[in-house]
Structure 1
């Protein structure tokens, strides 16, 4: 591999990108991904939300398309973890091949689609934190794809999509008003919390450590945007995890205690039966 060197040290300003992949392939994968998610969006419009859903149709559709993206990228990343482990033991800045190069390119196409979907539907202000996240991701992935560097780091960053599979599935099940005590909903909630810690919080920590470790091998632009993006992630993830834990664990415990108390005192029940939770519980975040 032809690496730009200065006094025997890697110089990121002179490196012209991995010769193992053609950047045109990245452009093509990004464009096809943008087109694919646009088509999925129109299919979702045609199908429509579940009959039980009474909220904003755009919110359901946006979550559904995000769930599809998470399924595709999450499974792809898991495959790399299980069967392409050599990628993560290689040089995380310089290693590149077409298989892993395609992953951030497809994801970039999705984030470009979702950004424009927010703009077109007037959701930029109400979902400003999502827009900030998307801008950071689009810049980072766009830079990596254009310069064919940091592709394994992009793959590590996309491990968060493993958690997004269950995060979005949880929300879709709430939209469809699944009972909170249903075994499948409880399983999704449990996997969401577990994967949140393993694939979202831990992944952000790894990226932050990598940014610090590889600081001398990155350009000034990457220092600035990488640091800003990591700062946003370090703020958002603990808040989101606390909200999930509070709504899915603490609230559930409180509801069970209230139900047990009513059952013990014979309140609001017939022959000792505890009344079912009403639909208002599905309005939780």
Structure 2
């Protein structure tokens, strides 16, 4: 059974993210012109995801530093700070699932909904059983990349040129952390799941192995798209424009 502090934190986090998005409708934070009306929900959703990724990145790293046992005993280590941090994150996934059902077309957003439902279900199960929390906290390292990934979307929304230094710096950090802390961490988790196979129910281990492998493949596809759009296409456009300028000259 979930403890009272964990349950309270989870529900409070859900409410806080809902209030935050309502606050954006009346705050001084300007929405991009393109997302000021019909697409305003998309802007609020990305901003909420950016806040959540930043929270998970900072608190997840702090939990792993303060309780290194999560790295050595990923199955049985369980303490209050890690549980509360995970509960707050689960509150975001609960909020975002309900928010998507309310504001988006289910036929178009079902992959995100499926991802959120899976993460929420598994996370609550870990908190309920008070086990496997180490895997949950290690997975928060992925959100370090989430900060730069969502920042990329915000920069595009606000019309920041891809040739700008800000965009290029974020692109560099995005690709580096994507490889090291998104794909890399998931690969390490896959290896650890094989190592810890005897310490958890077989069906749980198999489910996590398959799910992690699927997420790795999806992330590699997304990384290819980012490189194709932000690196290959931009370089091609730059060369084309340079050639055209020389010919005009």
TM-score between the two structures when normalised by the length of structure 2: 0.91
2:6 is the alignment partner of 1:26: yes
Partner of 1:232: 214
What is the 5 A alignment of 1:199-238?
199-238=181-220
Q: Relative to structure 1, is the Cα distance of residues 85 and 244 closer, same or farther in structure 2, using a 3 angstrom cutoff?
A: farther
Partner of 1:279: none
Partner of 1:38: 18
Q: Relative to structure 1, is the Cα distance of residues 173 and 184 closer, same or farther in structure 2, using a 3 angstrom cutoff?
A: same
The number of aligned residues is 246
More deviation in 102-111 or 49-58? Answer: 49-58
For residues 43-91 of structure 1, the C-alpha deviation after alignment (integer angstroms, 9 at most, x for no partner) is 123346223546621111111111110111112223345x436234431
CA distance in 2, matches of 1:63, 1:138: 19
CA distance in 2, matches of 1:60, 1:178: 15
Please, which of 160, 167, 173 is the counterpart of residue 155 of structure 2?
173
CA distance in 2, matches of 1:125, 1:208: 31
Partner of 1:62: 45
What is the 5 A alignment of 1:135-150?
135-150=117-132
What is the 5 A alignment of 1:153-192?
153-192=135-174
Please, which of 55, 60, 77 is the counterpart of residue 72 of structure 1?
55
CA distance in 1, matches of 2:209, 2:70: 22
Q: CA deviation at 1:149?
A: 0.7
Partner of 1:8: none
Partner of 1:104: 86
Please, which of 133, 142, 145 is the counterpart of residue 151 of structure 1?
133
Contact 2:190 2:213 in 1 (8 A): no
- Structure 2 counterpart SS, 1:127: helix
Unaligned residue ranges in structure 1 (runs of 5+): 1-16, 268-285
Partner of 2:109: 127
RMSD between aligned alpha carbons? 2.0
Unaligned residue ranges in structure 2 (runs of 5+): none
Partner of 1:90: 72
Partner of 1:12: none
TM-score between the two structures when normalised by the length of structure 1: 0.80
Partner of 1:275: none
